Each structure stands twice: as structure tokens, then as C-alpha cells.
Amino acid sequence: MALLQISEPGMSPEPHQRRLAVGIDLGTTNSLVAAVRSSLPEVLEDEHRHALLPSVVAYGNDERITVGAEAAARAIADPHNTIVSVKRFMGRGIDDARRHRTAYRFTDAPGMVRIQTRAGDKSPVEVSSEILKVLRRRAEMSLGGELYGAVITVPAYFDDAQRQATKDAARLAGIEVLRLLNEPTAAAIAYGLDNGTEGRVVVFDLGGGTFDVSVLHLSRGVFEVVATGGDSALGGDDFDRRIVEWALRETGLVQAAEPDPIGSALSAGSLSAADLRAMTVEARRAKEALSDSTLTTFSCPLSDSSAVRLPLARERFDAITADLVSRTITVVRRTLRDARIDATDAGSVVLVGGATRMPATRAAVASFFGRPALSNIDPDRVVAIGAAMQANLLAGNRREGDDWLLLDVIPLSLGLETMGGLVEKIVPRNSTIPVARAQEFTTFRDGQTALAIHVVQGERELVSDCRSLARFELRGIPPMSAGAARIRVSFQVDADGLLSVTACEQSSGVKASVAVRPSYGLSDDEIANMLQQSFSSASADRDARALREQQVEADRLYEATRSALDVDADLLTESERAVVESLLARLRETRLGTDTDAIRHAVDALARGTEHFASRRMDRAISKALAGRRIDQID
């Protein structure tokens, strides 16, 4: 019989017990899980010694859900029930999902699209959770215990909705999320760059289907994402396609001058869809072989029992893909320009993604930056490894001296809509998270008992140029005169960049709050553009803001004067009243235009023209307050 150790209440079973924490790279094509063991980070493998788990989920006939390579093998035979690249749909509405060319049938659902499968409508969160469950099981088997938590990586350009969806998927998989971490930040951590001095890090991430560039700024242990760029339709797959096109031309299956060899071979019937698939698989193998050797043979049997067999030298491969490589450098150049830095300002350059193994890509990056990029960590694993290192720290498994903790920042400012469609920024962009900020607001109208709160995200001055995140109402404000209520609005962003907003009227304590489940529907490019536009529109925005502020002031004064006239018009003589009325009319008229100075003058004129009226009203209010009271009762 085994003897079980029983720990005494209040005593920890082992003084230095490690908490099992992992890093998860939940990728579009492949996912990985990594952990720090004996002080070294490593990617965890399955029982077949495979580290990469294809991010594919298949819903089978027998209610069986399969994930990974087995599921990927069914993608062609059963496309509707085999979900690939689900990451593209996380936190997205139906319009976004339809922009991707896929075989799926979508169902519109509040918040996020659903994918129709034989097992019912599945949200991208549920599909992702199946991938995460497999990774969790793998981690628990390898590490021999229950997981304490995980750091999960997300692209730097993921918005709140996509981040929230990722967290929900983890929760559904029974994983406690210690932190969501930006993928480029994770790669920089893997190289230990967070321990370094201040400076810029450029992360060059060329995967199978997408290309991302991020510029990070490290300052006092905090990574800030300064700029992101990329091309969501450029990756290793395009290099494979070039090899297939080359093979079709070389074998004479299509004319050498044909601009679209694959399309024309398919439509002419000289190439079947199965042949194309076989050639694409062989092209990928040949491409990968050319990263290690200078010559390979492209060899592929075709369905009509013939075969294509062609020698392919690295030089030739480089020549037929040179324009793809230069496209990556063009994107890098543009992203550095957005970040307002030169190639020489980049302290380190980090390579991520399997396709960065291609020697021509590495050479192009090295020549652009004037020095080789960091590449000694496997570019497929570097993100998971960085996440594992971060998870290890967050779980409290620090060694002596490891007292630093990486913080992340919010990518776009968070604020509120104020009168006139203006944005009041409450949490500025690049604030380190977690963060809490509050600001006081007041009512605009006498007796106002409700306040509509509109939470927005973005850098621009006008609400219409920012992204709407949430709307809610604070009701039950005690009626007071305009400007008397004090409403404190607090923003709280947790460690994962998720926001909750609370509004509280200070005298009565009435409260309302919202956890931001943002309205969906912004594409990655649009998010990047929002940042870009805020730089280029700064001066136009300032003018627009000045105009709106003046308009709001005009409205406020107009309203206040009108309600004063309603109550105390008898304090004015006929002719005085006529003057005030004409000043009001002038204000109303200029308010309709866009001449900020003219509105300001009309506001000033009305303010001056009603000074005597205001002082008479004051006298009346005081004498009312004092009526019937003796001098010793007045405090």
C-alpha cells in the first residue's frame, strides 16, 4: 500500500513547490505549448514527439472532435466540418468573417459569428477552446500535474474583442489565463531583450500565410508596441506557389509567358485539383530543403501516371521569389516610418515564423538593418518560449535576482464622448497595464437625471473618428442645476488589457458600470490605420475640436439664458429684453456655421450683454433666501 503524505493545515506541502505554468502560442496555422523546466524553457511535445499542433478542429460523424494533424487530414474531404484558421474569426462579426474566402457557412449571432457544423453552430471561441484543451492535456501529461495557469499570446494588433474571445476560449478549456501577451513582445522576451537597456526592437514575423512587423520600444522593463505593419496575404505559401508556377512553365504544361500558370492549367484541364495539391506539397518540401542546401529536386507524380522531375537550385528559387522578399522589406520600411525611426535605430531585430528560415529573406533583413537578425531560437517556437518564460515569472517561480516583471501597455487611448461629439481621453495610449484612472463629469442641463456614457478607443479628437466600444446609462441622478452634479467615471484596465468602466454620482452614490464587450467589426488594417491617421490628422483635429468646444459653449449659454428668461424675464425692461433676444438670435445663427471665431464672438457678446441680468437675478435669489430671517440666523 502506498503511503500518502498529508500536509498539516496552514502548512504548505513543500516550501519550494513550483506552480505549473505554461506559455501557449495559439496560432492561425499551428499552436504550441512551452514551459520552463529546470530553469530552461522548452516546447512540450505530444506522444509522437510532435511539438506543432495544427490549429485545426474537425467535428466528426460520430460526435467525435479531433484536433491537430488528424483533423487537418480531413480538411479536403469534409471542409464544412473541419475548421482551419479559426483565429481569423475570433471576436469578429459576420461581415468580417465573410471577407475571408472560406467554405464555411456562417450564422449571424450577437457579438461574434458562428460556424455551422454537423455538431451544431460553433463560435470561434468554442473551436479555439478545443485546441487549447489538447494543449492543456499535453502540458499536464508532460509536467505531471494540474496547470496553475497559462500566458497566451495574441497578435499585437488584436483589439479588445479578439483578446476577450481568446480569454473566453481559455476559460472554456479550463485554463486560468495569467496574462495575454503580444506575440512580438513574447519573441523579444525569449531573447532576453526585456532585461536589456532601453531601445527599439523590430520583430519580423513571416509565417505560412501572413506577414507581420512590429516595432517595440523597451523602457524600464516595459515593452510598448510603437507600430505594427504587415501584409495579411503574404507568407511562405506564396513562395510555394512560385515553385509550382515555375514547374508548370518548365515542363511546358503552360506557356512560359502565361501570367497565371496555375489558373490557366486548371481551366485547360492539363492540371487536376489533386495534382495541384500534390505539387504544392512538393513545392513546400523543396523550398524548405533549399534553406539547408543549394540544390534540390522537385519531384512529383501526377494523376495521369506521368511525373514532374526538375532540379531546382537555390539561386533559381531566389530569382523567382525575389519580388516577394522585397515586398517584405517595403512593409518594414513603411512600419519604421510609422514608428518614426530609421533602420539604424533598431537595437535588435528578431525573426519569427518558419518562413524566416529562407536564406534570401534573412539576407534581405540583414542588409536592410546593416546587421544580422537574432535567429538562434527556432523561429516557430520563439513566441511560445517567450510566453513560457513570462508564465513562469507570473506564477511566482522566480529565481533570486529575477525580480523584474514585464508590463504591457494599452495600444490605443481609452476615453469618453463628451458634449459635441468630442473625446475626453481618460487612459492615454501606452499607459502600462493594469491601470485605473478616473475623472469627474457633470450634467449639462438643469434637472438632468440621466447621463449617457459612451466609451471610445482611439487617438483622434472626434468621436466619429474613434472606435465605439460600449454605451451605457447612469440613471437616478438627483435633479440639480446644470453643472452641480459630480459624476465620477472610472476606467479600469486589467492585466490583459480588458476594460471595465464605472460611473458613480458622488452625492447619491448611484452607480452604473459596464465590462467592455466591444462592438465588433474592425479589421486589423483599420486598427493600424487608426493610429496612423491620428498622427497625420493632428492639426485638422485640433481645429475641429476648437469648433466643437465653441459650439458646446454656445449651446450651454443659449440654454442657460433661455431658462433664466423663462423664470426671471420680469427683471428686464422691454428694450433690455429685446437686446438679449437679438444677442440670442445672433448666437443661434452663427452656431449653425463653422466659423469658430464668429461663434466665440457671439458667445462673448451674449455673456457680456447678460451681465446686468445675471446680477439682478443674483440679488433676487439672495433676497429670497434671506426673506423672513433675522440677521443672527444667517450663517
Q: How far is the CB of 291 from ligand AMP (least distance, A)?
A: 3
For residues 368 and 341, the answer to whether their CB atoms sit within 8 Å is no
Q: Which of 205, 465, 524, 549 is catalytic?
A: 205
Q: Is 183 a catalytic residue?
A: yes
Q: How far is the CB of 358 from ligand AMP (least distance, A)?
A: 5
Question: Residue 415 and residue 247: Cα distance in Å, rounded?
Answer: 55
Q: How far is the CB of 210 from ligand AMP (least distance, A)?
A: 8
Q: Using the minimum distance from each CB to ligand AMP, give the nearer residue, 288 or 555.
A: 288
Q: Is 595 a catalytic residue?
A: no
Element (H, E) at 80: none
| Site for ligand AMP, residues 592 to 621, rule: CB under 6 A | none
Q: Which residue, among 337, 366, 338, has the nearest Cα to 350 in the 3D structure?
A: 366
Q: How far is the CB of 81 from ligand AMP (least distance, A)?
A: 23
Site string for ligand AMP, 191-210 (x = CB under 6 A): ----------------xx--
Q: Is 242 in the site for ligand AMP (CB under 6 A)?
A: no
Q: Using the minimum distance from each CB to ligand AMP, give the nearer residue, 353 or 497.
A: 353
Question: Residue 157 and residue 170: Cα distance in Å, rounded?
Answer: 19
Q: Using the minimum distance from each CB to ligand AMP, give the nearer residue, 168 or 282.
A: 282
Q: Which residue, among 248, 234, 318, has the nearest Cα to 280 in the 3D structure?
A: 248
Q: Using CB under 6 A, which of 42, 288, 318, 555 touches ligand AMP?
A: 288
Q: Is 229 in the site for ligand AMP (CB under 6 A)?
A: no
Cα dihedral value 104, 108, 112, 118, nearest 10: -40
For the chain, how many residues are written? 635
Q: Using the minimum distance from each CB to ligand AMP, give the nearer residue, 168 or 380.
A: 380
Element (H, E) at 7: none
Q: How far is the CB of 29 from ligand AMP (least distance, A)?
A: 5
Question: Cell digits for 286?
Answer: 523543396
Q: How far is the CB of 88 from ligand AMP (least distance, A)?
A: 13
Q: How far is the CB of 238 from ligand AMP (least distance, A)?
A: 9
Question: Residue 337 and residue 476: Cα distance in Å, rounded?
Answer: 50
- Residue 8 neighbours by CB distance under 10 Å: 7
Q: Is 287 in the site for ligand AMP (CB under 6 A)?
A: yes
Question: Cell digits for 290?
Answer: 533549399
Count, residues near ligand AMP per rule CB under 6 A: 17
Q: Using the minimum distance from each CB to ligand AMP, give the nearer residue, 207 or 458.
A: 207
Q: Which stretch binds ligand AMP (CB under 6 A): 177-185, 283-291, 443-451, 599-607?
A: 283-291
DSSP state of 258: -
Q: Using CB under 6 A, which of 149, 236, 415, 420 touches ligand AMP?
A: 236
Q: Which of 46, 87, 122, 380 is catalytic?
A: 87
Q: How far is the CB of 229 from ligand AMP (least distance, A)?
A: 18
Question: Residue 351 and residue 457: Cα distance in Å, rounded?
Answer: 31
For residues 587 and 558, the answer to whether their CB atoms sit within 8 Å is yes
Q: Using the minimum distance from each CB to ligand AMP, give the nearer residue, 207 or 411.
A: 207
Q: Which stretch binds ligand AMP (CB under 6 A): 256-264, 286-294, 430-438, 614-622?
A: 286-294
E-assigned strand segments in 188-260: 199-206, 211-219, 222-231
Q: Which stretch binds ligand AMP (CB under 6 A): 116-124, 261-269, 284-292, 529-537?
A: 284-292
Q: Using CB under 6 A, which of 22, 30, 191, 348 touches ligand AMP?
A: 30
DSSP state of 374: B
Q: Using the minimum distance from each CB to ligand AMP, give the nearer residue, 207 or 420.
A: 207
Q: How far is the CB of 335 from ligand AMP (least distance, A)?
A: 19
Q: Using the minimum distance from each CB to ligand AMP, give the nearer residue, 353 or 518.
A: 353
For residues 287 and 240, the answer to whether their CB atoms sit within 8 Å is yes
Look up residue 118 and give its amino acid. Answer: R
Q: Which stretch binds ligand AMP (CB under 6 A): 256-264, 285-293, 316-324, 328-336?
A: 285-293
Q: How far is the CB of 208 from ligand AMP (least distance, A)?
A: 4
Composition of the chain by helix, strand, coil, percent to 5 = 40, 25, 35
Question: Cell digits for 109?
Answer: 449571432
Q: Using CB under 6 A, which of 102, 280, 291, 500 touches ligand AMP?
A: 291
Q: Is 155 in the site for ligand AMP (CB under 6 A)?
A: no
Q: Which residues contact 621 (CB under 8 A, 6 or more apart)?
A: none
Q: Is 55 in the site for ligand AMP (CB under 6 A)?
A: no
Question: Residue 599 and residue 558: Cα distance in Å, rounded?
Answer: 12
The rounded Cα 152 to chain-centroid distance in angstroms is 14
Q: Is 29 in the site for ligand AMP (CB under 6 A)?
A: yes
Q: Using the minimum distance from each CB to ligand AMP, give the nearer residue, 291 or 532.
A: 291
For residues 167 and 179, the answer to whether their CB atoms sit within 8 Å is no
DSSP-derived 3-state class of residue 622:
helix
Q: How far is the CB of 17 from ligand AMP (least distance, A)?
A: 35
Distances (CA, A) of 620 to 379, 483, 567: 78, 21, 11
| Site for ligand AMP, residues 363 to 402, rule: CB under 6 A | 380
Say which residue the cell 491537430 belongs to.
68
**Measured at CB, which residue is nearest to ligand AMP?**
236
- Residue 82 neighbours by CB distance under 10 Å: 22
Q: Which of 126, 130, 183, 459 is catalytic?
A: 183
Question: Cell digits for 155?
Answer: 497578435
Site string for ligand AMP, 341-370 (x = CB under 6 A): ------------xxx-xx------------
How would you write 14-41 as a 3-class SS string? CCCCCCCEEEEEECCCEEEEEEEECCEE
Cis peptide before 434 (omega within 30 of 0): yes
Q: Is 284 in the site for ligand AMP (CB under 6 A)?
A: yes
Q: Which residue, among 593, 497, 611, has the nearest Cα to 551 in the 3D structure?
A: 593
Annotated active-site positions, please?
25, 87, 183, 205
- Which residue ranges make up the site for ligand AMP (CB under 6 A)? 29-30, 207-208, 235-237, 284, 287-288, 291, 353-355, 357-358, 380
